[in-house]
Amino acid sequence: MKQMKIPIQFPESGVSERRFPSTFLVGLLSASLLVLAAVAGHASSATWNLSPSNGIWYSASNWTPATVPNTISDTATFGVSNITTLSYAPGGLLSDLGTFAFTSDASPYTINFANNLYPAMIGVGVMNDSGILQAFSIPPSGEFRDVNETNNMVSFINSATTGILTQWTVKGSATGAYRPGELFFNDTATAASATIIVNPGGSDIGGEDGDGFGGILDFRDSSTADHATITVTGGAAGADYGSPPDAYFTDTATAANATITMTGGTISLGNGGILEFYSNSTAASATITNQAGAVEGGRPGKTFFWDTATAGNATIIANAGTDGTSGGLVSFYGNATGGTARFELFGNGTLDISFSLAPGVTVGSVEGDGLVVLAGHALTVGSNNLSSTFSGVIQDSEFESGGALAKVGSGTLTLSGANTYTGGTTVNAGVLLAVNGSGSATGTGVVSVNTGTLGGSGIIAGAVIIGGGAGAILAPGIGNPTQVTLTLRRRLTLQAGAKYIYGFKAKTNQSRADLVIAKGVTINGATIALRGRTQGTLTPGMILTVISNTSANPISGTFSNLADGAIVTVNGNNLQASYTGGDGNDLTLTVVP
């Protein structure tokens, strides 16, 4: 018999899986057979009465015919009724249901499941033709439990669906003495367009039993969140021994096109909502938002990617905290991948790849003004070919240095912040623009452009090497209608195959031109492309500075298509190159007759 995996969340220690042995399930199933045998004689499909005697699901007199829908082949139908709040659905220990069917004239119902389900299975799902919202609630266990025992579970199986216009509330326990509610999606079941709310546990700070366990939402096998709207709600539990509300995706489950929000803790040390992807699951095309802690010290909403899970093509947001609150957090562990996902980070909202394995994590794009923590790993940006601007800080961690950044894809990554990572920057495709006003856009390490373009009006602290592959370009003014200056604090090396694109505008005795300032220049057979526009006849003697060399040493080498002393003609104006111009070691173009 297949083992049942029950994830248990422990504060600050991640998730462990407690596997219940087949003997446990055999005993459980044996107990269920006794229960089902007791109801088999009167369990079948039925319709909830217009005027039932009470709201108890298992009272046969409330149904027509007078029988309780209580097995996986049964359909419970709901139309107009004077009592629309039901309790103990679908009927108690190990009893199941095939279909909840709401007719076109059905009243709005609130259906509360029993609190000792172990679990209850739904085989077909919900058929809601009413055109109005139908609400379902999964309570925590009603029994005093050890933490090693099961949660109070409702499970969609086969290809069952929540249906449209349904709301599912998964409740946490009041204290740690009781297990929370849990909603499962197994096989190819789908959350369709449902609204799902996962509640936190209650707070019993200092109490004998500790804080409560947050509710759990669990997608397994090849199930899907489809177009569901999911909120994992942070709360007060967590300051003692409680656990956060949690949503899991495991196996090959997918978040599909869901909208998922994790809110923050509401007291100091209170848990925020958590979303976790395990095994080969994927965030697919979901929109995932991690909110900040609701109060100072409250833990934020968090999203974790483990094992070989992937962020897919999702949009993942980590929002800023205010007034001292912690910002949303997204973390990668092991061999989890970022796919082509778009990451939007704001304020102290953080993307952390510190716990990923070599060579690091590739993501679609990064934007906003938040934080990226690399530790000693490499973040590769650009796999979705989008252009984005990141004005936050990319940094190593407190415990590990050597983090690196790589640019891939056809888009443009613009860095406008003062970044501090130390492991270097590589451009393998697209455009990397440094437009920072202070610090270094690319940290302290070497910048290597293998294929693609480096440009911008900012400051780069490390040595810059252009070349090593066809199509390596240095172009300060790329994409900028005005002329700009790119400042390099270390040596610039232009290798064979590299190209420097120099843009300028000039008329009579006035000019505006791109400029690279570097502390030392080596040119090993690279080429230069003059992208200049002139108006009329330029004044002889006017000088355009192409590269300003702040080193005391002369420029080493020349461009293969621009020898020292060579004259080039632009719109009838003659410009003569000098590698000893300016203060004696700059590359200049001087207008000559």
263 closest CA partner among 232, 237, 242, 220: 232
The values of phi and psi at residue 41, to 5°, are -70, -20
- pLDDT confidence bin for 239, thresholds 50/70/90: low
Segment 15-38 mean pLDDT: 35
Residue 440: other Cβ atoms inside 10 A: 25
Tokens 């953080």 — which residue? 350
Tokens of 327: 């910002």
Residue 221 C-beta-side C-alpha neighbours within 13 Å: 14
Task: Tell me how far apart the alpha carbons of residues 68 and 91 are, in angstroms, rounded to a whole number.
Answer: 8
Strand pairing category for 586-592 and 573-581 = antiparallel
pLDDT tens-digit series, residues 139-193: 998 877 666 677 899 999 999 999 999 999 999 998 877 889 999 999 999 999 9
Q: For residue 436, what pLDDT is reported? A: 97
* Side chain identity, residue 400: E
DSSP 8-class letter at 219: E
Task: Using the predicted structure, report yes or no on whether residue 25 has a pLDDT greater than 90.
Answer: no
Percent of the chain with pLDDT over 90: 77
Tokens of 143: 């029994």
Task: Using the predicted structure, report yes or no on whether residue 26 has a pLDDT greater than 60.
Answer: no
Distances (CA, A) of 59 to 91, 92, 491: 9, 12, 84
Segment 488-506 mean pLDDT: 95
Residues written for the chain: 593
Segment 211-240 mean pLDDT: 91
Q: For residue 146, what pLDDT is reported? A: 65
Tell me the Ramachandran region of residue 115: left when phi exceeds 0, alpha when psi lies from -120 to 50, beta otherwise: alpha
Task: Using the predicted structure, report yes or no on whether residue 207 has a pLDDT greater than 80.
Answer: no
pTM, to two decimals:
0.91
Tell whether the torsion through CA atoms of 67, 70, 75 and 76 is positive or negative: positive
338 closest CA partner among 316, 358, 361, 356: 361
Segment 76-82 mean pLDDT: 98
167 closest CA partner among 138, 135, 191: 135
Task: Using the predicted structure, report yes or no on whether residue 475 has a pLDDT greater than 50.
Answer: yes
Angle at 83 between CA 81 and CA 84, to 5 degrees: 85
Task: Using the predicted structure, report yes or no on whether residue 448 has a pLDDT greater than 90.
Answer: yes
Task: Tell me how far apart the alpha carbons of residues 27 and 118 are, in angstroms, rounded to a whole number.
Answer: 12
Task: Tell me how far apart the alpha carbons of residues 389 and 368 are, in angstroms, rounded to a whole number.
Answer: 7
Task: Using the predicted structure, report yes or no on whether residue 29 has a pLDDT greater than 50.
Answer: no
- pLDDT confidence bin for 511, thresholds 50/70/90: confident
Residue 20 C-beta-side C-alpha neighbours within 13 Å: 18
Task: Tell me how far apart the alpha carbons of residues 339 and 337 are, in angstroms, rounded to a whole number.
Answer: 6
Task: Using the predicted structure, report yes or no on whether residue 129 has a pLDDT greater than 70.
Answer: yes
Estimate to the nearest angstrom the gap between the alpha carbon of 290 and the chain centroid. 9
Angle at 251 between CA 73 and CA 194, to 5 degrees: 55
Task: Using the predicted structure, report yes or no on whether residue 97 has a pLDDT greater than 80.
Answer: yes
Q: For residue 220, what pLDDT is reported? A: 98
Task: Using the predicted structure, report yes or no on whether residue 415 has a pLDDT greater than 80.
Answer: yes
Task: Tell me how far apart the alpha carbons of residues 150 and 143 are, in angstroms, rounded to a whole number.
Answer: 11
The values of phi and psi at residue 257, to 5°, are -105, 30
The answer to whether the CB of 291 falls within 8 A of the CB of 318 is no
Task: Using the predicted structure, report yes or no on whether residue 241 has a pLDDT greater than 70.
Answer: no
Task: Using the predicted structure, report yes or no on whether residue 11 has a pLDDT greater than 50.
Answer: no
Task: Using the predicted structure, report yes or no on whether residue 4 has a pLDDT greater than 60.
Answer: no
pLDDT tens-digit series, residues 345-374: 999 999 999 999 988 999 999 999 999 999
Task: Tell me how far apart the alpha carbons of residues 335 and 318 are, in angstroms, rounded to a whole number.
Answer: 21
The answer to whether the CB of 152 falls within 8 A of the CB of 174 is no
Task: Tell me how far apart the alpha carbons of residues 247 and 290 are, in angstroms, rounded to a whole number.
Answer: 13
Segment 436-442 mean pLDDT: 97
Average pLDDT of the chain? 90
The most confident of the ranges 39-43, 93-97, 491-495 is: 491-495
Q: For residue 535, what pLDDT is reported? A: 84
Q: For residue 481, what pLDDT is reported? A: 82
β-bridge mates for residue 361, sequence order: 379
Task: Tell me how far apart the alpha carbons of residues 320 and 317 are, in angstroms, rounded to a whole number.
Answer: 10
Q: For residue 22, what pLDDT is reported? A: 32
Task: Using the predicted structure, report yes or no on whether residue 43 has a pLDDT greater than 90.
Answer: no
- pLDDT confidence bin for 93, thresholds 50/70/90: low
Residue 549 C-beta-side C-alpha neighbours within 13 Å: 24
- pLDDT confidence bin for 486, thresholds 50/70/90: very high
* Side chain identity, residue 70: N
pLDDT tens-digit series, residues 316-325: 999 999 888 9
The answer to whether the CB of 84 falls within 8 A of the CB of 109 is yes
93 closest CA partner among 29, 41, 177: 29
The answer to whether the CB of 205 falls within 8 A of the CB of 165 is no
Tokens of 264: 């923050």
Segment 239-256 mean pLDDT: 90
What per-residue string of b and e applies to 153-174 under the rule 16 or more CB within 10 Å gives b? bbbbbbebbbbbbbbbbbbbbb
Higher pLDDT, 441 or 5: 441
DSSP 8-class letter at 428: -
